[in-house]
């Protein structure tokens, strides 16, 4: 039977090991980043993301690192599960003694780890969860986000949707945080521009479990003038193919978030939709010096073109390096202060983390799809600064409960 003395000794030994490990980390010549993401659940996304991340890390380390130290990353899989993501975050801090937490793509995981960062008082740079709860309703001083969110996505396509002058809209989205938030934002933004718009049908299948036949038939039965889609991954592929087969898209406009990203467009091959208004990544037609340098380096290293998530992974590491350099350390409070108003470089140009909500001004492209040589492409797109797509400061203050 263990006495309190035995337990006290065990606790002291544990504390001693932890403190000793932290001391080793403090004296190390590396800065250790703990990166959490859905590698198994979203392989098409994560393939390019990790390559973009490693390219940026390699470039930084070859140029001398940050604060004279080399960047090193431990990549861990959250299995698309919020609880697993939090468990891994705790393990990265307690066992691996990482200096910084970063990553996440799926929204529900991002919200959970943002709350974990608050509870543990550790800095967390969220790469790409799209739910705005990460920075607004559930935001906190420890959490920053690099990629744009559902409000910015909806605001980017709403003007194009309004110009179509279609009154009856049908909606289809995955029934979890991202899909629900994106649809709510689109409704709100389109109503502002077109007050008489009607939403005549909604289909919200579980994420990853779309039964395309009945869903497509239900949308056709509603006789909408246009369709707004928030589907992605295999759900998008099923929907696009079944909709094409059944004639759902014939003489009917479609506005679809994310569909112009190569991660989602390439799997469609010849079934890619023609003429949809989408957000995406027209990488062959972005001729800025920053993007051309990134494209050349990426293709030289990997012998393949980048994906949008390649840009996100690359930009996340660049932002971390800039923030650590400005902070002069990886201390949480120093990082929080440094990231306020931090400028950092990306393949899309220079961006800033806003003081008011810790959101980056990382932007996005909007354009129409086309089919060429039996393959879907996004031939061009208008680049929209992410900072111009956000609500007013008054609205953000009302939404954000943090700090």
Same domain, 136 and 157: no
pTM, full prediction: 0.90
What confidence tens digit (pLDDT) does each residue in 349-364 have? 999 999 999 999 999 9
Q: Is residue 397 part of a domain?
A: no
Same domain, 36 and 131: yes
Distances (CA, A) of 229 to 169, 174, 200, 201, 214: 10, 9, 14, 12, 16
Percent of the chain with pLDDT over 90: 88
Q: Is there a contact between 386 and 362 (Cβ–Cβ < 8 Å)?
A: yes
List the CATH number of the domain containing 108: 3.40.50.2300
Q: Is residue 371 part of a domain?
A: yes
Question: How many residues are there in the chain?
Answer: 403
Handedness of CA 356, 140, 279, 323 (dihedral sign): positive
Percent of the chain with pLDDT over 70: 93
- In angstroms, the CA 102 to CA 360 distance is 14
Q: Is residue 402 part of a domain?
A: no
Same domain, 12 and 129: yes
Same domain, 119 and 179: no
Q: Is residue 54 part of a domain?
A: yes
176 pLDDT higher than 90: no
Residue 71 pLDDT grade (very low, low, confident, very high; cuts 50, 70, 90)? very high
Q: Is residue 400 part of a domain?
A: no
Same domain, 270 and 382: yes
Q: Is there a contact between 335 and 324 (Cβ–Cβ < 8 Å)?
A: yes
- In angstroms, the CA 160 to CA 196 distance is 16
Which residues, including other chains, have CB under 8 Å from residue 169's CB and lie 6 or more apart?
A: 190, 197, 198, 199, 200, 224, 225, 226, 227, 228
Give, in degrees to the nearest 5, the angle at Cα 297 between 291 and 303. Answer: 115
Q: Is residue 87 part of a domain?
A: yes
Same domain, 167 and 108: no
Same domain, 26 and 40: yes
For every residue of the chain, which 3-state class applies, written as one string?
CCCHHHHHHHHHHHHHHHHHHHHHHHHCCEEEEEEEECCCCCHHHHHHHHHHHHHHHHHHHHCCCECCEEEEEEEEECCCCHHHHHHHHHHHHHCCCCCEEEECCCHHHHHHHHHHHHHHCCCEEECCCCCHHHCCCCCCCCEEECCCCHHHHHHHHHHHHHHCCCCEEEEECCCCHHHHHHHHHHHHHHHHHCCCCEEEEEECCCCCCCCHHHHHHHHHHCCCCEEEECCCCHHHHHHHHHHHHHCCCCCCEEEEEEEECHHHHHHHHHHCCCCCEEEECCHHHCCCHHHHHHHHHHHHHHCCCCCHHHHHHHHHHHHHHHHHHHHCCCCHHHHHHHHCCCEEEECCEEEEECCCCCEECCCEEEEECEEECCEEECCCCEEECHHHHCCCHHHHHHHCCCC
Residue 135 pLDDT grade (very low, low, confident, very high; cuts 50, 70, 90)? very high
What confidence tens digit (pLDDT) does each residue in 88-113 have? 999 999 999 999 999 999 999 999 99
22 pLDDT higher than 60: no
Range of the domain at 252: 151-283+365-389
401 pLDDT higher than 80: no
Same domain, 266 and 317: no
Q: Is residue 242 part of a domain?
A: yes
3 pLDDT higher than 80: no
Same domain, 260 and 162: yes
Q: Is residue 339 part of a domain?
A: yes
Same domain, 25 and 158: no
Same domain, 190 and 252: yes
**How many distinct structural domains can be found in the chain?**
2
Same domain, 230 and 103: no
Q: Is there a contact between 283 and 306 (Cβ–Cβ < 8 Å)?
A: yes
């Amino acid at each position: 039977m263990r006495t309190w003395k035995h337990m006290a000794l065990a606790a002291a030994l544990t504390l001693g090991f932890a403190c000793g490990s932290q001391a080793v980390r403090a004296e190390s010549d590396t800065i250790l980043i703990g990166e959490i993401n859905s590698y198994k659940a979203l392989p098409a996304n994560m393939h390019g993301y990790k390559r973009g991340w490693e390219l940026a890390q390699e470039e930084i380390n070859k140029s001398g690192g940050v604060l004279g130290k080399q960047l090193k990353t431990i990549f861990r899989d959250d299995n698309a599960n919020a609880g697993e993501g939090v468990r891994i975050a705790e393990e990265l801090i307690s066992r691996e003694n990482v200096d910084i937490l970063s990553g996440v793509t799926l929204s529900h995981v991002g919200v959970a780890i943002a709350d974990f960062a608050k509870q543990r008082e550790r800095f967390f740079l969220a790469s790409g969860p799209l739910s705005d709860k990460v920075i607004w309703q559930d935001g906190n001083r420890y959490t920053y986000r690099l990629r744009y969110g559902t409000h910015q996505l909806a605001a980017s396509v709403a003007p194009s949707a309004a110009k179509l002058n279609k009154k009856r809209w049908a909606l289809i989205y995955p029934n979890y945080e991202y899909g629900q938030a994106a649809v709510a934002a689109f409704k709100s933004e389109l109503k502002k521009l077109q007050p008489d718009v009607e939403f005549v049908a909604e289909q919200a299948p579980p994420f990853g479990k779309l039964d395309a036949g009945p869903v497509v038939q239900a949308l056709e039965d509603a006789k909408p003038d246009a369709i707004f889609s928030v589907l992605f991954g295999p759900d998008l592929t099923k929907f696009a193919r079944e909709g094409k087969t059944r004639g759902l898209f014939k003489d009917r406009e479609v506005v679809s978030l994310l569909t112009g990203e190569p991660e989602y467009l390439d799997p469609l091959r010849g079934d890619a939709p023609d003429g949809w208004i989408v957000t995406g990544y027209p990488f062959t037609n972005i001729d800025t010096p920053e993007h051309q340098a990134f494209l050349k380096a990426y293709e030289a290293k990997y012998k393949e073109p980048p994906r949008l998530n390649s840009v996100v992974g690359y930009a996340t590491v660049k932002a971390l390096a800039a923030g650590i350099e400005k902070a002069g350390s990886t201390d949480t409070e120093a990082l929080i202060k440094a990231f306020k108003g931090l400028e950092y470089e990306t393949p899309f140009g220079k961006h800033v983390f806003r003081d008011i909500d810790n959101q980056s001004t990382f932007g996005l492209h909007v354009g129409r799809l086309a089919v060429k040589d039996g393959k879907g492409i996004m031939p061009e797109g208008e680049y929209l600064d992410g900072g111009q797509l956000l609500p007013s400061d008054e609205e953000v203050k009302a939404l954000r409960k943090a700090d």
